[in-house]
């Protein structure tokens, strides 16, 4: 029996190296969005690494946002590189670059190694469920046509960014903190010599210097874990059956000039190509090869010992199909479902009207309708927030806005000089702003812009819980934490009577809505346990002129 062609063995090894390099690069860039890894200039954190590289290379993100906004965000032009490469080479991104594909590939390989013979070969043949992803793609593009970007829910780059940044890395961070703290306080005698270096190593590579938590992440973990576990039952089930980016690239790959050429006369029916196929595309001679499903993993040609198959430019295509095996009715039905889903979702929450008052968006966010047409729920803005103030929504923004960012000031407040969330947003849902444009704290030696500061909300007091109002006790914490200049929280002195009949003067805090920017520092610092005595709502936000509490003089005259 002959040996496989060396060039295909080299290509398979090159693919493995490429997968490892791009996965490590993806993790490295994601870690660069952590506040402890950022450069610091004049004490302000700065991002110098291209942390959005993979999202900007993602053609599904580029196309969906172009459909929803009728514009192409400037950084997403990089997606043209992947599009052009796919038109000529096929789905190389899935097999050589995609970090989500690499993780599934590794897990599927571990499972396939234990599966032998006919069962493994049968599982790696093309199945009808592989058409599902094209229906998912059509539905998401249909929603984008209606002005709502939902691709981030299942786009592999956005999904992996969200899952690692909001679930896996924080979990690792908490674990290593606990291990380090336990090692410092434990006394295990002879085991200390082993435990101490392990503790030091884990603590030395902490994701963040302090532990962070994110709200509403159980569902994110459940979906991500389900995708990984699915490889235990079906090889690369996510890539074959559900991935909308893979479906888009599959459609583009129909025109690729690189393809699999089959030589049935040389085939000895050893079935090694089918045993090692990752895409479920039927590489064996005599079967119809599904060009749109091939990941270019090179496993089939590297396994063939008789040169019965080989990748060629402009190959013979007698045993090849470029069809995606989805009927026109199914495509139109899926796209129509996506179109109709958005009005249904907006029946409960209309993005043109003020919604849940607790939905406070990051500074620089666009108007809610435009925001939902761009936000892909990647979670980078939440991961980069230095105070752990941004968290994924569940239903606060309606079903349409699930996992989009919102401020939770009880957990963390918006840092007055920080604009990192606007710098990492890959689609412009959060418009890039500067500290001067944000204008929350005067910068030494710098002038503010002519316009007013960016406001994300307004603070209100719950006088039934505020100590000076409800119990006649002195408390000035909220005023001390207020960062605006002049402070938006001020005091009024009032005379109160104690239960003993004595009179005393007490400072009661008030909010000046003209100065409050909604940063949430007062809510974060409020000493009242449970629900705070001061809370922030979105009213007064700059991004929505209709969501106001104060009317200007000309508005009063016309109202």
Q: Is the pLDDT of residue 552 over 80?
A: no
Q: What is the DSSP string of 174-188?
A: HHHHHHHHHHHH---
> Mean pLDDT lowest for which of 84-88, 355-359, 461-465?
355-359
Q: Name residues whose C-beta falls within 8 Å of residue 81's C-beta, 6 or more positions apart in sequence.
A: 57
Minimum mean pLDDT among 89-93, 303-307, 456-460: which range?
303-307
Residue 116 is inside which H or E element, if any? none
pTM: 0.89
Angle, CA 298 vertex, CA 84 and CA 321 arms, to 5°:
65
DSSP-assigned beta bridge partners for residue 392: 405
Spell out the SS3 assignment of 506-540.
EEEEEECCCCCCCCCHHHHHCCCCCCCCEEEECCC
Top pLDDT among 203 and 214 is at 214
- The answer, yes or no, to whether the previous bond of 469 is cis (omega within 30 of 0) is no
* 224, pLDDT greater than 60: yes
Q: What is the pLDDT of residue 71?
A: 80
* Contacts for 267 with CB less than 8 Å, ≥ 6 apart: 284, 285, 286, 306, 308, 309
3-class DSSP state of 45: strand
Dihedral (CA of 393, 395, 400, 402) sign: positive
Strands (E), 183-287: 258-262
* Mean pLDDT on 254-279: 86
In 3-state terms, the chain is what percent helix, strand and coil (to 5)? 45, 10, 45
Query: Quick one: pLDDT band at residue 203, thresholds 50, 70, 90?
Result: low
Q: To 10 degrees, what angle do helices 156-163 and 244-252 make?
A: 150
pLDDT in tens, 308-323: 888 889 988 888 887 7
Q: Assess contact for 392 and 15: CB atoms under 8 A.
A: no
Residue 556 confidence (pLDDT): 41
Paired tokens of 381: 């803005």
Q: What is the mean predicted confidence (pLDDT) over 457-467?
A: 94
171-193: pLDDT as tens digits: 888 877 777 676 666 655 545 55
Residues of the chain with pLDDT > 70, as a percent, come to 86
Q: What is the mean pLDDT of residues 72-77?
A: 74
- 453-559, what's its fold? Alpha-Beta Plaits (3.30.70)
Q: Which helix (H) or strand (E) holds 75?
A: none
φ, ψ for residue 535 (rounded to 5)? -135, 160
Is the pLDDT score of 27 beyond 50?
A: yes
Cβ atoms of 235 and 111 closer than 8 Å: yes
Residue identified by tokens 């590189």 is: 81
Residue 40: strand, helix, or coil: strand
Residue 22 predicted with pLDDT over 90: yes
Identify which has the larger pLDDT, 327 or 394: 394
- Cα–Cα distance list, 362 to 191, 299, 534 (Å): 48, 46, 19
Q: Answer whether residue 404 shows pLDDT above 90.
A: yes
**Is the pLDDT assigned to residue 509 strictly greater than 80?**
yes
The pLDDT assigned to 409 comes to 94
Higher pLDDT, residue 322 or 20: 20
Does 113 or 88 have the greater pLDDT score? 88
Query: At residue 557, does pLDDT exceed 50?
Result: no
Residue 558 pLDDT level (bands cut at 50, 70, 90): very low
Looking at the predicted structure, is the pLDDT value of residue 261 above 70? yes
3-state DSSP assignment of residue 154: coil
| H or E element in which residue 311 lies | strand 309-313
Query: pLDDT category, 1, cuts 50, 70, 90?
Result: very low
Which range, 2-11, 63-72, 179-188, 516-525, has the best average confidence (pLDDT)? 516-525
Among 316, 336, 272, smallest CA distance to 112 is for 272
The half-sphere exposure of 76 on its side-chain side, counting CA atoms within 13 A, is 20
3-state secondary structure of 458: strand
Domain ranges of the chain: 6-146+234-321, 160-220, 453-559
Q: Is 428 helix (H, G, I), strand (E, B) or coil?
A: coil
So what's the pLDDT on residue 32? 86
pLDDT of 206 > 90? The answer is no
Give 95's DSSP letter. I
Counting Cβ atoms within 10 Å, is residue 47 exposed (0-12), middle (13-18) or buried (19+)?
middle
φ, ψ of residue 497 to 5 degrees: the values are: -110, 130
Averaged pLDDT for residues 481-505: 88
Q: How far from 314 is each of 6, 256, 311, CA to CA, in Å? A: 21, 9, 9
pLDDT, the chain, mean: 84
Q: Between residues 291 and 118, which one has the greater pLDDT?
A: 291
User: Rounded to whole angstroms, how far apart are CA atoms 223 and 153?
Assistant: 10
Q: What is the pLDDT of residue 188?
A: 54
Selection from 90, 443, 47 nearest residue 279 by Cα: 90
């Amino acid at each position: 029996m002959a040996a496989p062609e060396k060039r295909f063995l080299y290509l398979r090894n090159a693919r493995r190296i490429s997968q490892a390099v791009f996965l490590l690069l993806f993790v490295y860039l994601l870690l660069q969005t952590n506040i402890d890894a950022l450069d610091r200039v004049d004490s302000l954190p700065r991002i110098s690494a291209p942390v959005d590289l993979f999202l900007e290379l993602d053609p599904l993100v580029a196309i969906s946002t172009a459909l929803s906004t009728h514009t192409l965000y400037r950084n997403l032009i990089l997606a043209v590189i992947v599009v052009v490469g796919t038109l000529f080479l096929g789905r190389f991104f899935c097999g050589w670059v995609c970090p989500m594909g690499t993780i599934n590939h590794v897990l599927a390989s571990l499972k396939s190694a234990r599966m032998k013979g006919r069962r493994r070969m049968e599982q790696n043949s093309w199945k009808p469920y592989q058409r599902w992803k094209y229906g998912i793609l059509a539905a998401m593009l249909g929603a984008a046509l209606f002005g709502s970007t939902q691709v981030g829910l299942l786009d592999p780059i956005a999904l992996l960014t969200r899952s690692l940044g909001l679930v896996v890395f924080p979990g690792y961070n908490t674990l290593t903190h606990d291990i380090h703290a336990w090692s410092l306080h434990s006394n295990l005698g002879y085991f200390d010599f082993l435990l101490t270096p392990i503790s030091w190593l884990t603590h030395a590579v902490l994701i963040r210097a302090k532990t962070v938590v994110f709200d509403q992440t159980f569902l994110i973990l459940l979906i991500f874990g389900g995708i990984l576990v699915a490889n235990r039952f079906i090889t690369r089930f996510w890539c074959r059956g559900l991935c909308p980016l893979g479906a888009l690239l599959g459609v583009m790959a129909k025109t690729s000039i690189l393809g699999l050429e089959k030589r049935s006369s040389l085939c000895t029916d050893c079935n090694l190509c089918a045993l090692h196929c990752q895409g479920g595309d039927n590489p064996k001679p005599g079967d119809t090869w599904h060009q749109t499903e091939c990941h270019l993993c090179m496993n089939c040609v590297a396994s063939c010992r008789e040169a019965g198959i080989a990748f060629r430019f402009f190959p013979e295509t007698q045993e090849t199909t470029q069809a995606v095996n989805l009927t026109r009715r199914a495509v139109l039905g899926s796209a129509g479902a996506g179109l109709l889903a958005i009005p249904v979702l907006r029946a409960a929450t209309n993005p043109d009207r003020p919604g849940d008052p607790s939905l406070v968006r990051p500074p620089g966010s666009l108007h809610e309708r435009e925001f939902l047409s761009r936000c892909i729920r990647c979670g980078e803005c939440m991961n980069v927030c230095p105070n752990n103030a941004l968290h994924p929504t569940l239903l606060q923004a309606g079903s349409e806005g699930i996992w989009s960012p919102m401020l939770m000031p009880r957990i963390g407040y918006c840092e007055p000089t920080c604009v990192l969330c606007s710098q990492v947003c890959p689609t412009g849902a959060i418009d890039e702003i500067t500290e001067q444009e944000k204008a929350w704290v005067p910068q030494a030696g710098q002038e503010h812009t002519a316009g007013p500061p960016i406001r994300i909300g307004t603070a209100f007091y719950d006088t039934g819980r505020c100590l000076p109002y409800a119990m006649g006790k002195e408390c000035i914490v909220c005023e001390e934490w207020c960062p605006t200049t002049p402070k938006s929280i001020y005091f009024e002195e009032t005379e109160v009577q104690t239960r003993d009949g004595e009179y005393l003067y007490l400072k009661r805090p008030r909010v000046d809505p003209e100065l409050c920017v909604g940063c949430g520092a007062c809510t974060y610092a409020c000493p009242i346990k449970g629900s705070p005595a001061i809370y922030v709502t979105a009213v007064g936000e700059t991004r929505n002129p209709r969501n106001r509490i104060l009317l200007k003089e000309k508005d009063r005259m016309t109202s």
